[in-house]
Amino acid sequence: MPAQSVDALFRSLNRGDLAPVYYFFGPEDVLKDEAVRSILDRALDPALRDFNFDQRSAAQLDAEEVHALCNTLPMLAERRVVLLRDVECWKRKTKGRAELLKYLERPSAETLVIMLQGSAEEKEDRELAAGACAVGFDRLPPERARKWLLRQAGQLGVNLEPDAAEHLIRVVGCDLGALASEMSKLASLPSGEIMTAGRVGELVGVRHGETLWDWREAVLNGETGRAATLLPSVLDQAGVSGVKLVTALGTSLVGLGIARSHFDDGMRGRSLEAGVMKSLLSVRPFGLLSYKEEAARWSRWAPDWPHRRIRSALKAARDTDQALKNTTVSDERGLLTDLVLQIGVPSAEAA
């Protein structure tokens, strides 16, 4: 049985449908924890939770302990819940794992088991998935990460403007753990303050309009001077490197090539954006901003980027990437400035 989506899981929980065994895997630990809390809220009486909820690390359990955890009867309740963390630590022939696989063949009606796999091991364990309701927790795309962030802000009482949420995602990315960490910092500030993009930029140390994505947009929008001017501040940011900038630019150039192909086929306006969006959804590449917004940008830039220019820019990006990875080269800013100038002032052949 294929793994269930996160959306399908939460829909079933909202209906009150509980499976006897769940297996959660994938890179997004924050969503896994939210799902666990949702299951606990629906499965257990808060007054009796301490008596009917056990959580253990799989690495510390032998076969007898697994058997006891999964088969102990609930106390004054319909069911009990067992949360097994770090199930990826079990080796294939571990006795504890073997006991759990045996249990999965005939799970107890009085016990709900949640098997939680850490993000360090993203691959699905087929043996565990076969005996459970398996759910893969992937990173959220930017548009959904923004909605999650705004919902989180509301729960914490932070007055976060949509533009500020967008800026946070541009700075931090779609890692919900990192976003939650930034939100906890904002929540510690005096209540009532409106968190604008500018204010959030001051607090996280990256000014609004000076992110990696702003640099990429300046390059592809033909704002060569601005792109070169942004380089020092962007390169000084935590987690940003020359290779990361070139990678983001290269991904966008490939997307721009898709948009240009649709443009050359006669698509224009909303039809062009829809065609690009369809192509994006068919492959769902990671490391972009909102697919809808990216489709709009690439479609807007497509008329100015014939395929020859795109190929020339990709070649320049590849050469810069190789130079940046050469340990004898240390001038990231110089190499990237050269790249910006090459792309911003295309040769007659590429234009």
- Give the confidence band of 285 by pLDDT, cuts at 50, 70, 90: confident
pLDDT (0 to 100) of residue 24: 97
Share of the chain above pLDDT 90, in %: 80
Question: Are 298 and 285 spatial neighbours (Cβ–Cβ below 8 Å)?
Answer: no
How far is residue 270's CA from residue 247's CA, in Å, rounded to a whole number? 28
- Give the confidence band of 330 by pLDDT, cuts at 50, 70, 90: low
**Helix or strand or coil: residue 27?**
coil
Q: Which CATH architecture has domain 6-136?
A: 3-Layer(aba) Sandwich (3.40)
pLDDT (0 to 100) of residue 300: 96
- Give the confidence band of 283 by pLDDT, cuts at 50, 70, 90: confident
What is 325-351 written as a DSSP string?
A: T-TT---HHHHHHHHHHHHHS--TTT-
Mean per-residue pLDDT for 162-166? 93
How far is residue 67's CA from residue 30's CA, in Å, rounded to a whole number? 29
Neighbours of 299 (CB within 10 A): 26
Residues of the chain with CATH 1.10.8: 142-204
Give residue-wise pLDDT tens across range 107-156.
999 999 999 999 888 889 999 999 999 999 998 888 899 999 999 999 99
Helical H runs in 106-223?
A: 126-130, 142-156, 162-172, 176-187, 197-204, 212-220
- Burial (CB count <10 Å: 0-12, 13-18, 19+), residue 214: buried
Reference 238, options 183, 178, 153, 325; nearest CA is: 178
Class of domain 212-344: mainly alpha
pLDDT (0 to 100) of residue 93: 80
pLDDT (0 to 100) of residue 349: 45
* Torsion of the alpha carbons at 280, 281, 286 and 287, rounded to the nearest 10: 50
Residues of the chain with CATH 3.40.50.300: 6-136
Mean per-residue pLDDT for 64-83? 94
- Give the confidence band of 348 by pLDDT, cuts at 50, 70, 90: very low
> What value does the mean pLDDT of the chain take?
92
Mean per-residue pLDDT for 341-349? 69
Residues of the chain with CATH 1.20.272.10: 212-344
How far is residue 251's CA from residue 257's CA, in Å, rounded to a whole number? 10
pLDDT (0 to 100) of residue 23: 97
**Helix or strand or coil: residue 22?**
strand
| 345: pLDDT strictly greater than 60 | yes
Q: Which CATH architecture has domain 142-204?
A: Orthogonal Bundle (1.10)
Q: Which two tokens stand for residue 109?
A: 């009606």
Residue in this structure with the two tokens 């790249």, named with its chain if needed: 339
Instruction: Return the percent helix, strand and coil in the chain, to nearest 5.
Output: 60, 10, 30
